[in-house]
Amino acid sequence: MKHILIFSFLIFVTAIKLNAQTDTSKIPADTNYINYLNGEEILLENIFEDSEDSKLLDDLDNLKRNPLDLNTASQEELETIPFINSFISKKIIEYRKLKIQFKTKRELLLVEGITDEIYELIKIYVIVKQSAYEVVREIDKEMYSELNNNYGIIKNTNIRYRTRFQQDLQTKSGFLDGSYPGTKAKIFNQLSFVNSKFNIDGNVTLEKDAGETSLTDFYSAFLELKNTGIVKEIVVGDYSLTFGQGLGMWGSTGYSKGSLAVDAVKKRNIGIKGYSSVNESQFFRGAASTFNIKKFDFTFFYSNNYFDASIDTTLDEVSSFYFDGYHRTISEQNRKNSGRERLFGGRIYFNNNILRLGATYWNSKFSKPVKADSTKNLYSFAGDKADMISFDYDVNVKNLNLYGELARSQSGSIAGLSALQLNFSKTAELIFLYRYYPEQFSPVHSFGFGENNGNTQNEQGFYTGLTLYPYKFLIINTYFDQFKFPYRTYFNPIATQGNDFLFNADWKFDRNILINFRYKNENKEETQTVTDEFGRDTKKIVNRNQMNFRIGFDYKLSDKINIRSRYDYVFVGYDLYGGNNKGSMFYTDFKFAPSHVFTVATRFIFFQTDDYDSRIYEYEDDIRGVMSNTSIYGKGSRWYIMFNYKPFRSLEFYGKYAETYLDGVKSIGTGNDLIQGDINNRLNLGMEIFF
């Protein structure tokens, strides 16, 4: 560990010296790409999904490709941008009315509540079409002009074709013994278009996972019409629904607790959105529409979609659901599309920007009844019919934002969430949030905020978050969350409770040097198996305490080179019965743009943990559309190298090679995913063509 700390110190000292020699007058005013990647990491590093196909990442990518015009976007549309809350969006609209229009997006720095740091994170998502010249830059290279929407093979239409090839280079046992009959490659193809004249969007997505036989194992498509007369939106095909705060209807994943202590807590009420991700669950297939009459939106939706499930053939019931989307082995193929859900519903929404009120109802019927499972949770959804009615509110008065939602499921139980958020310009933001999800509340399409992010059942909690701007170059985020699970679960036979504390500070030590410090401490009661005096295994409830410490450095050595280093330490302790363990990780990465068409990035990671319990998550940059939040444990190292090559304005290539070495192991993984040896490596390649 000593050599890692010494190496980190030497890099830091070198960075300061090189930075002192840099001619800062040549640094571009707007270097978006690095800030965009850092913003992605802030939002996604706490999303611990098994799948790399993140709906949240896809939403961020779509927003980046279709930025909002500051002179025409509504207040509610602005709030769909991460890091823009109700207070800031209202101030942007007020500034626009005062100045008639934005002449450049750098005017956002004159808007109350927008700091230099917030501007750096949001500028990738906005444009000013009337601006004489504004560009988005990738380190030191121009990516595209914001005035270029009229080129292409079809006037006023931007067409994008994206393809990806991903493959583990080591052969897993499932391919060796024939359990995985398909090829080792994961292949993705997507064609999308946007017509600005008729406000029409469209998308077709095809994908196969490694081991699957068909290139179209998963397919998705939609056609979307926007903002035409009273028609606010119509989608035919695949779509997602996101209403209120996720208690009544939320068709995809959501952000969790993290280093954004205030702004990431509130869910954005996006409504209907065409679905272009390859996460093979949590979306609807059918048609949906929203009509606007003055200050009211009327939404209607219908879906008839299949899902993967295991069927109890004796009772002809659904015994379990599967959301991984894998159809490789015979058993996985047998459960593909074995169940179907028909759903319909509607929503009425009132919005005058100060007061927003929504009421949502939906009803669904399953092709086969869902089996009751008293082993895992007595109150989980069971039967062949489900419904939900919910009411959400959002009140904005000066610097105060009060929002929340109440929802009643088919069980008759009512869940609720209410939050009060206060904004003090560029000084501080504060939030208080209370949630109550009874054990009898049995949702089907919910994803509420909580400790068990998305599991909107059997949880109560009170969350307090604070963001401080004590000095111009210092941002502090901290929260404390106290929660309990009033009813037993599959893993814990009695009620349990816990608390979670985080302190995160970002200090801009120099114009080009950022220092990050983070401390997180979580206590949670869990079941632990211990051996009694008679040699018998018994289960005891113990307190599990996990402490995470992080320090990181981000150095911009020049307008072409960026270096970042990070050290993480974790300690897991158990009361009474032992099992304590610890882990650490250090990495350094480099981003380098040797020319205006080529960018390369690499990272070297060293880690050592006692076991899986002290694993550390390490969010990585990846090729476009792929989220990589790797959990590392054991002892070893990992490294990767990425490139991005854009020879023409309408053509882009990118790739990544990553390799993990585990010291002292003879195999990696288990079952069909077992790899013989101590190395696991992967190659990702991709291409985008714009017409």
* Range from 35-39, 221-225, 456-460, 666-670 carrying the lowest mean pLDDT: 35-39
In this structure, what are the phi and psi dihedrals at residue 688, rounded to the nearest 5 degrees?
-130, 135
Closest CA to 365 of 378, 389, 380, 381: 381
Give 30's pLDDT tier (boundaries 50, 70, 90): very low
Do the beta carbons of residue 327 and residue 333 sit within 8 Å?
yes
The reported pLDDT for the residue numbered 639 is 97
Closest CA to 189 of 157, 154, 219: 219
Question: Who has greater pLDDT, 550 or 539?
Answer: 550
Whether pLDDT at 302 is above 80: yes
Query: What gap in Å lies between CA 394 and CA 79, rounded to an integer?
Result: 13
For residue 535 the two structure tokens come to 């040699």
Give tens-digit pLDDT for 456-514. 999 999 999 999 988 888 999 999 999 999 988 777 888 899 999 999 999 988 888 99
Question: Which alpha helices (DSSP H) does 22-101 contain, by range?
Answer: 32-44, 55-65, 75-78, 86-99
Residues with Cβ within 8 Å of residue 533, at least 6 apart in sequence = none
Q: Is 477 exposed, middle or buried (0-12, 13-18, 19+ CB in 10 A)?
A: buried
Query: What gap in Å lies between CA 48 and CA 261, rounded to an integer?
Result: 18
117 within some domain: yes
* Range from 38-47, 88-97, 671-680 carrying the lowest mean pLDDT: 38-47
> Is 559 strand, coil or helix?
coil
Give tens-digit pLDDT for 173-205. 999 999 999 999 999 999 999 988 888 999 999
Query: What gap in Å lies between CA 513 and CA 99, rounded to an integer?
Result: 35
Beta-bridge partners for 661: 637, 679
Whether pLDDT at 22 is above 60: no
Query: What gap in Å lies between CA 267 and CA 254, rounded to an integer?
Result: 8
Q: Is 71 exposed, middle or buried (0-12, 13-18, 19+ CB in 10 A)?
A: middle
Do the beta carbons of residue 643 and residue 655 sit within 8 Å?
yes
Determine the average pLDDT of the residues in 554-568: 90
335 within some domain: no
Give tens-digit pLDDT for 237-253. 999 999 999 999 997 67
For residue 426 the two structure tokens come to 């560029």
| DSSP 8-state secondary structure symbol assigned to residue 58 | H
104 within some domain: yes
Please report how the helices 55-65 and 32-44 are oriented relative to each other, as an axis angle in degrees rounded to 10.
Answer: 150
Mean pLDDT, the chain, as a whole number? Answer: 86
Do the beta carbons of residue 236 and residue 272 sit within 8 Å?
no
Query: What gap in Å lies between CA 336 and CA 461, rounded to an integer?
Result: 37
Residues in the chain: 691
102 within some domain: yes
CATH code assigned at 68: 1.10.150.280
Q: How far apart, in Å, are the Cα atoms of 584 and each of 38, 366, 574, 617, 637?
A: 22, 47, 18, 11, 12
Do the beta carbons of residue 277 and residue 446 sit within 8 Å?
no
Nearest-10 Cα torsion for 191, 192, 197, 200: 120
Whether pLDDT at 435 is above 80: yes
Whether pLDDT at 634 is above 80: yes
Q: Is 22 exposed, middle or buried (0-12, 13-18, 19+ CB in 10 A)?
A: middle
The reported pLDDT for the residue numbered 152 is 53
The secondary element (H helix, E strand) that includes residue 13 is helix 2-21
Whether pLDDT at 19 is above 70: no
Pairing verdict, β 635-648 and 598-609: antiparallel
Whether pLDDT at 37 is above 60: no
Structural domain including 141 reads 31-145
Q: How far apart, in Å, are the Cα atoms of 538 and each of 156, 493, 494?
A: 68, 12, 14
Do the beta carbons of residue 353 and residue 307 sit within 8 Å?
no
498 within some domain: no
The secondary element (H helix, E strand) that includes residue 515 is strand 513-531
Do the beta carbons of residue 233 and residue 218 sit within 8 Å?
no
Determine the average pLDDT of the residues in 331-352: 95
Query: Taking the complete model, does pTM exceed 0.85, yes or no?
Result: yes
For residue 670 the two structure tokens come to 């288990």
Query: What gap in Å lies between CA 170 and CA 677, rounded to an integer?
Result: 9
C-beta atoms surrounding 639 within 10 Å:
17
C-beta atoms surrounding 267 within 10 Å:
22
644 within some domain: no
Longest Cα pair distance anywhere in the chain, in angstroms? 81
66 within some domain: yes
Give tens-digit pLDDT for 64-80. 878 889 998 988 889 88
Question: Which alpha helices (DSSP H) does 233-288 contain, by range?
Answer: none
In this structure, what are the phi and psi dihedrals at residue 56, rounded to the nearest 5 degrees?
-65, -40
The reported pLDDT for the residue numbered 131 is 55
Closest CA to 199 of 220, 229, 221: 229
First to last CA, the chain: 51
For residue 34 the two structure tokens come to 């690095």
Query: What gap in Å lies between CA 89 and CA 77, rounded to an integer?
Result: 9
For residue 473 the two structure tokens come to 């170059």
For residue 108 the two structure tokens come to 């956002």
Question: Domain count of the chain?
Answer: 1
680 within some domain: no
Query: What gap in Å lies between CA 657 and CA 195, rounded to an integer?
Result: 36
Whether pLDDT at 61 is above 90: no
In this structure, what are the phi and psi dihedrals at residue 615, rounded to the nearest 5 degrees?
-60, 155
